[in-house]
Amino acid sequence: MNKIKLLLLLVAAIVLGGCQNSTNTEKKMSNISENTVQQTVEAIMEEQPEADRTLVEKGVAQAAALWESEDGSEQAFKDFAKENYLSDPEARKTLFDKLSTAFEIFYGTSNQVAVRLQSPIHLAGPEPTEIDYILAGFNPYSHLSDDLFANKTAFITILNFPFYTLQEKNTLGKNWNRLEWAYARMGDQFTTRIPAKIQAEQAKVLSESESYIASYNIMMGHLLTDDGRRLFPEDMVLLSHWNLRDELKSNYADVPNAQEKQEMIYQVMLRIVDQSIPAEVVNNPAYDWAPYSNKTYQNGKEVNLPAEGAARYSHILDMFHVEQQIDRYSPALPTGIARNFEKSMEVSAQDIEKLFIRMISSEQVKQVAELIKTRLGRDLRPYDIWYDGFKSRSSMPEDELTQLTRAKYPDTDAFAADMPRILQDLGFSTEDAKYIADRIVVDNARGSGHAWGAQGRWEPARLRTRIGKEGMDYKGYNIAVHEFGHNVEQTLDLYTIDHYMLSGVPNTAFTEALAFIFQKRDLQLLGFDQKIDDNTTLDIFWGAYEIMGVALVDMYTWQWLYEHPDATAEALRDAVVGIAKEVWNQYYEPVLGTHDSPLLAVYSHMINSPMYLPNYPFGHIIEYQLESHLAKAESKAEFASELKRIYTLGRLTPQIWMQQAVGSEVSVDPLLDAVEEIVGE
């Protein structure tokens, strides 16, 4: 899980904008008339007749739209555009190279500042103090956009490398060469002018929500059944939602009180979603808590503790209010929803919704559910969305796996030292394995773990994983392998890319896909015989089914927010619970039973990574198509070679990337067809 997207969101904040929602921030309009735009175009064409008129018109119009009175008069704009437009290909390439170097310096150094300042709240160590939280909320990017507009760097960039819409990229980009794609990505750098104050506020809100989630631990040893029994080890502490979910998954193995533990975790999750959980039992071992009756005890005596109320949802609301401010500065993408999907994901929200609904309403879901029901020998329950029986590890007691991982990885240094071997086991050459591993550092995370990529080709990617005093348990190892997949992607498509402006992947779903590919081979990397077979296909399918519903709840929540811009945190809480129930009743109750379950709203990403969740199911779809393609490899070396080829395609649009990677666009049909072959009647 690439949970920490703060950096990417902040970079995006530089180039994204908003609409005309009512806020206290006044939008400064361009002072350049349409007549001046036309005169400027004609003046450039007269002086440089070899110039491409379409590109001139595009660049001049886009620069004019962002030119404000303090930038100069209309005549100043006209003179500036004439002096700085470069039609000569060599001159344009020289400009591109210089700008690329500058942006790498800006982003890379700012990334290093953010990494260091946020370390106290992200990494294991002393409890953060107030100043740690304040400094973690500092946005090193906040004034960058303003400064680059003020010194005219932004306008030179816009003039010579104009922005292309998603439709234009998907159409024209089919015939672009690598340099033309890099020019187009350069055009994505400046499409609006968001004031530094708003960017700083966004960083602060994201930091606060991250801190809230990173400390949301449930003291499992202090959970009681209504008859007073404890089902979990005294020292077990699980972060919501990730560790709770993974503990629930581990109880599909043959372990004592397995289903009773699952039912209790489910009840805890429901209390978190509706916020009836007592606030004082979170990250606090001073109380015992019976989640069914919602009673709390201290030293054996019942005490009354207030519910959390709506704290969880206040963080979503704070982020929404920031997006409202950004809306005013993005007439082309007038909502956070549009910016997230059409700009960040480069897939429309409508297309994503159709894709997900097509799969979760398919007959194949019912067929797989019947198979799970047969295997479990009981009726399905809501938490069976996390059924883990298609994975090889589900038949192995987790405590045995934990003994192995704790012995193998007593600390972060041990995992770091083993990374070259892991890569070699996957088929990478000794040289490539060392090259990649040398550019990744491993830190002990305060939360469940995350991957933080580099932005400059002099800094490492960072793998944060949670390691206890006794070493890395199996849950931590499984997550660490996932995060390692992110780091490998982050390293390959930065350090080995042909143009810096193409570094990265089309969207975060594509890095999730590689992380899933790594994670699914976690037992293989421990030396077990782990095969990618029909069970792998079913596991991908069921995982996609689960997370698609979660993603829809996230998407519908933001739609509701834009329809109710003055909502309170309490109203938002009630709305999210209602949305989760509606999605459940329509697409999950027919398969898993239980009317009105709000379980789909439990994911912490809704709080600290706004609208990030759709990347996961989108990533599952991509993962299956990649797995199918990689299955054709005749050796581990060929497998690794294809991974390298695919993940150095860089930041094309999703559909074009997939065409070049596997020969077809993103679609759920291959996965549906494969499942039908496995379980169809």
Does residue 634 register a pLDDT over 80? Answer: yes
Both structure tokens of 609: 């990574």
Does residue 420 register a pLDDT over 60? Answer: yes
Residues 383 and 400 in one domain: no
- CA–CA separation, 31 vs 396, rounded Å? 68
> Where among 292, 309, 326 does a domain terminate?
309
Given the structure tokens 């991957």, which residue do they identify? 451
First-residue to last-residue Cα distance in the chain: 35
Does residue 553 register a pLDDT over 60? Answer: yes
pLDDT at residue 29 in the model: 58
User: For residue 598, which amino acid is it?
Assistant: P
Rounded (10°) angle between helices 534-563 and 669-679: 130
Average pLDDT taken over every residue of the chain? 91
* Residue 439 covered by a domain: yes
Does residue 257 register a pLDDT over 80? Answer: yes
- CA–CA separation, 383 vs 408, rounded Å? 32
| Tens digit of each residue's pLDDT (9 = 90 or more) over 211-249 | 999 899 999 999 999 999 999 999 999 999 999 999 999
Residues 246 and 372 in one domain: no
485-492 average pLDDT score = 96
pLDDT at residue 24 in the model: 38
pLDDT at residue 9 in the model: 35
With the C-alpha atoms ordered 501, 503, 505, 511, is the resulting torsion angle positive or negative?
negative
* Residue 47 covered by a domain: yes
Residues 40 and 152 in one domain: yes
pLDDT at residue 145 in the model: 86
* Residue 198 covered by a domain: no
Residues near 528 by Cβ (< 8 Å), separated by ≥ 6? 392
Does residue 482 register a pLDDT over 80? Answer: yes
Residues 59 and 167 in one domain: yes
* Residue 405 covered by a domain: yes
pLDDT at residue 392 in the model: 58
* Contact criterion met (CB below 8 Å) for 225 and 150: no
Residues 463 and 543 in one domain: no
- CA–CA separation, 384 vs 361, rounded Å? 17
Q: Residue 479: name the closest of 490, 465, 462 by CA.
A: 465
pLDDT at residue 393 in the model: 54
| Tens digit of each residue's pLDDT (9 = 90 or more) over 182-192 | 999 999 999 87
pLDDT at residue 11 in the model: 35
User: For residue 123, which amino acid is it?
Assistant: L
| Tens digit of each residue's pLDDT (9 = 90 or more) over 518-527 | 998 999 999 9
Higher confidence at residue 378 or residue 133? 378
Residues near 627 by Cβ (< 8 Å), separated by ≥ 6? 517, 532, 536, 540
Residues 591 and 486 in one domain: no
As for how many domains the chain has, the answer is 4
pLDDT at residue 516 in the model: 87
* Residue 153 covered by a domain: yes
Residues 234 and 380 in one domain: no
pLDDT at residue 110 in the model: 93
Strand partners, 239: 217
Does residue 290 register a pLDDT over 90? Answer: yes
Residues 517 and 542 in one domain: no
Residues 545 and 497 in one domain: no
Both structure tokens of 385: 């969305």
- CA–CA separation, 162 vs 191, rounded Å? 9
- Count Cβ atoms below 10 Å from residue 535 Cβ, excluding itself: 15
Residues 594 and 667 in one domain: yes
Residues 427 and 355 in one domain: no
The pLDDT confidence band at residue 16, using thresholds 50, 70 and 90, is very low
* Residue 204 covered by a domain: no
167-183 average pLDDT score = 95
Indicate which CATH number applies to the domain containing 410: 3.40.390
pLDDT at residue 395 in the model: 60
Residues 460 and 546 in one domain: no
* Residue 668 covered by a domain: yes
Residue 362's domain spans which residues? 335-389+531-632+650-679
pLDDT at residue 196 in the model: 79
The pLDDT confidence band at residue 199, using thresholds 50, 70 and 90, is confident
pLDDT at residue 361 in the model: 97
- Count Cβ atoms below 10 Å from residue 631 Cβ, excluding itself: 11
* Residue 401 covered by a domain: yes
pLDDT at residue 681 in the model: 59
pTM: 0.78
452-468 average pLDDT score = 94
636-656 average pLDDT score = 96
